[in-house]
């Protein structure tokens, strides 16, 4: 019996995901990946100078580096990348289910906070959001499998090591993920500049609740389906005739506002 087309496509997608690799670059990103026992490391290309700087991490990872001439850096990364003489081929990290990362990794004694990204495609923005999420104790950052920034060297470099420690989960359908999180007891707040209530006002008397903050791409913002699915639309309390924030700055401020008393 011939398999339905959707079954074949799903199997092909799973196979492609299994063979997918990422090239990380830059001393900080490569060092943190080498030191991460969860990260599957495949190939390390370094200059002699970078190898000396990464000696401890290389020994910890137990990987045999390929030393190259700085003038002939052969790693398959963008020629304009600031690689600092180090590039590491790895498998993408697997963080597990939404329940495991959103509730299981919550900071002890604090209600979970999660950032959900609606089609934020710029890897530099996502990398910066991962840094803020780690600093402020968010359980996870969630994006979509399509139309969002995948794990890349540029994202890892901007995240400055946070990619190795801060869960970044990509889901198939954003609205379904929101409903699943609501089922876990999360209060889901969508950031919208036209909203009537601020984050602080929306959380008055409810700061002990687990909270998801949903942010859209700069310009388009949240999609209509997302707006319809969240529990409430909220805005950042801004002063006067204030312009819009970069999404990574908005994420940091929103997360801090949700935690402050």
pLDDT at 163 > cutoff 60:
yes
Confidence tier at 11 by pLDDT (50, 70, 90):
very low
Q: What mean pLDDT do residues 47-72 have?
A: 95
Structure tokens at 233: 């639309």
CA angle at 178 for the pair 172 and 180, rounded to the nearest 5°: 85
Separation between Cα atoms, residue 196 and residue 180, nearest integer Å: 26
Instruction: Note the pLDDT of residue 16.
Output: 41
Could you give the strand order of the β-sheet that contains 232-235, starting from the edge strand earlier in sequence?
A: 168-171, 140-144, 113-118, 211-216, 187-191, 232-235, 197-198
Closest C-alpha among 223, 219, 213 to residue 173:
223
pTM comes to 0.86
Q: What mean pLDDT do residues 102-109 have?
A: 67
Residue 98 · residue 64 · CB < 8 Å: no
Confidence tier at 4 by pLDDT (50, 70, 90):
low
Instruction: Note the pLDDT of residue 6.
Output: 53
Q: What values do phi and psi take at 254, rounded to 5?
A: -65, -40
Instruction: Note the pLDDT of residue 2.
Output: 63
Top mean-pLDDT range of 5-9, 73-77, 177-181: 177-181
- 204-238 per-position pLDDT tens digit: 999 889 999 999 987 889 999 999 999 999 999 87
Query: Which DSSP letter does residue 164 get?
Result: G
């Amino acid at each position: 019996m011939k398999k339905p087309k959707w079954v074949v496509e799903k199997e092909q997608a799973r196979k492609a995901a299994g063979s997918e690799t990422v090239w990380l670059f830059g001393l900080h990103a490569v060092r943190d990946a080498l030191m991460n026992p969860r990260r599957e490391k495949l190939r390390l290309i370094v200059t002699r100078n970078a190898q000396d700087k990464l000696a401890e991490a290389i020994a910890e990872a137990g990987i045999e580096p390929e030393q190259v001439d700085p003038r002939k850096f052969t790693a398959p990364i963008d020629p304009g990348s600031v690689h600092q003489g180090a590039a590491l081929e790895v498998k993408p990290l697997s963080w597990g289910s939404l329940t495991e990362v959103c509730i299981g990794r919550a900071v002890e004694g604090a209600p979970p906070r999660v950032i959900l990204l609606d089609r934020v495609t710029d890897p530099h923005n996502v990398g910066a959001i991962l840094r803020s999420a780690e600093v402020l104790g968010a359980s996870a950052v969630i994006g979509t499998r399509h139309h969002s920034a995948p794990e890349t060297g540029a994202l890892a470099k901007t995240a400055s090591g946070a990619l190795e420690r801060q869960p970044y989960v990509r889901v198939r359908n954003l609205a379904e993920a929101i409903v699943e999180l609501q089922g876990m007891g999360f209060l889901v707040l969508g950031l919208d500049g036209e909203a009537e209530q601020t984050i602080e006002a929306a959380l008055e008397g409810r700061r002990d609740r687990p909270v998801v903050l949903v942010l859209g791409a700069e310009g388009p913002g949240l999609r209509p389906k997302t707006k319809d699915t969240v529990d409430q639309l909220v805005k950042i309390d801004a002063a006067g005739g204030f312009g819009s924030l970069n999404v990574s700055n908005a994420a940091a401020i929103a997360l801090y506002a949700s935690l402050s008393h």
